[in-house]
Amino acid sequence: MSALLRSLALVCIGSALSAQTTLIRNATVHTLAGEPIEKGAVLIQDGKIAGVGRNLKAPKGATVIDAAGKHLYPGMFDAFTQVGLVEITAVDVTGDRTERGDFNPQMRTAIAIHPASEHIPVTRANGVTHTLSAMRGGIFSGRAAIVNMDGWTWEEMAIEADGPLVVEWPVIRVYPEDAPSDRPKTFEKAREEYDKKVREIAEWIESARHYAQAKKAGAAVNRKLEALLPLIEGRQPMIVVAERARTIRNAVEFAAAHDLKMILAGGLEAAKESALLKEHAIPVLLGPTQQTVPDEDDPYDELFAQPGELSRAGVPFAITSEQYYLSRTLPYEAAGAVPFGLPKDEALKAVTLYPAQILGLGDKLGSIEEGKIANLILTNGDPLEIQTDVERVFINGHEVSTDNKQRDLYEKYLARPKPTP
């Protein structure tokens, strides 16, 4: 019994088990909570940041890392991905991404995150220490999971196992999605289908509200409606995937009318709706900057320039990879916005502090401050720049290996003897 209690306690603090104490000193500490600290030190205890400053003393028995000439940053947060949910795109059975049916709010993404996925060590080796991994597809896709890129089990990985519900906002589609060359429907017909789907969403929300009342009166558990309670009670936002301006507008108007907290994800045309997003205080988990500009007559740099525009408009946003095998390119998705108007420090915050704040984890992650989870990376320069190496990675206060399948293959074939002719 005591063993069970202990393991529950460990799950609750979301930490991978240890009372290790480490002092990293002599680094340039980029806290993101103020100016960088030259020759700074960070004390890590019990998986948390226990001190940040210039003259920290190593407690007895602490591991001391001298990081002279190196830079310490908060680990990066890729806040909309499928890391751990898909191994090989083309092989369906390696993916746990989409469940059958449109309304699956009871699906828990977390329980199928594969801790032994080859993608996890590859991702963290480039400085991404935690991700939001999400089921997609249908309309209520499932509850997203926020996880560390380390842990023996998904429970140990979890920062928030049951995160926000992911909602794929319906699109008015005149061409069927799976057969774009088929004959188009009339707009009226497509609109009718769209309206029906939105009515269904409204019905689910309404049912959940009734359920909340009925439950107090002792009604039996309905798992799907139960999963909607955090949303309708305002305890959790929903992450709504919408790309084009009209879809974004539709989703925002629905959320406002039904009094639901919303985070926009994807947001291919978010900047076109920045006034609306600001008015309703809706933050954005923006998709990658390096994706094809949607319309022929849009500026070629539309998606490179969009983060800068959102920043100037005062809409809170994070930049995400929306990926699994290229989650490690997250820093470049952010940096790509800099030459087109996003300040450098904002680009860095868009993959560290801002996603944490947007997801309600601003007190736990995203900057180097006392009390936060010790997810840190030690680099030889600016982590958003391609030529920078991430040299050491700390997750939950533990140093984790930057080794991965790809480096193993590199070393193996680097050592291949010259073939004899």
Of the residues 113, 277, 335, 358, which one makes contact with another protein according to CB under 8 A: 335
Compute how many residues bind another protein; rule: CB under 8 A. 46
**Structural Rg of the chain based on CA atoms:** 23
CB of 191 to another protein, least distance (A): 20
Q: Nearer to another protein by C-beta: 45 or 98? A: 98
Residue 84 vs residues 63, 97, 130, 203, 271: alpha-carbon distances, Å:
31, 10, 11, 33, 30
326 binds another protein (CB under 8 A): yes
Cα–Cα distance measured from residue 351 to residue 286, given in angstroms and rounded to the nearest whole number: 10
130 binds another protein (CB under 8 A): no
CB of 387 to another protein, least distance (A): 5
Of the residues 89, 111, 195, 279, which one makes contact with another protein according to CB under 8 A: 89
If one counts every other C-beta atom within 10 angstroms of the C-beta of residue 199, the result is: 10
Strand-pairing partners, residue 71, are 28, 379
290 binds another protein (CB under 8 A): yes
Residue 78 vs residues 18, 58, 147, 242: alpha-carbon distances, Å:
25, 32, 10, 18
Q: Name, in order, each residue with C-beta under 8 angstroms of 211's C-beta and a sequence gap of 6 or more.
A: 219, 222, 225, 226, 228, 229
Strand-pairing partners, residue 158, are 147
Cα–Cα distance measured from residue 245 to residue 314, given in angstroms and rounded to the nearest whole number: 18
Q: Which part of the chain contacts another protein (CB under 8 A), choosing from 33-41, 231-239, 253-261, 288-296? A: 288-296
178 binds another protein (CB under 8 A): no
406 binds another protein (CB under 8 A): yes
Question: Which 343-402 residues touch another protein, going by CB under 8 A?
Answer: 344, 384-389
Helix, strand, coil abundance in the chain, percent, nearest 5: 35, 20, 45
Of the residues 222, 258, 340, 362, which one makes contact with another protein according to CB under 8 A: 340
* Residues near another protein, by CB under 8 A: 87-91, 118-119, 290-293, 296-297, 299-301, 304, 324-326, 328-329, 331-332, 335-336, 338-340, 344, 384-389, 406-407, 409-410, 413-414, 416, 418-419, 421
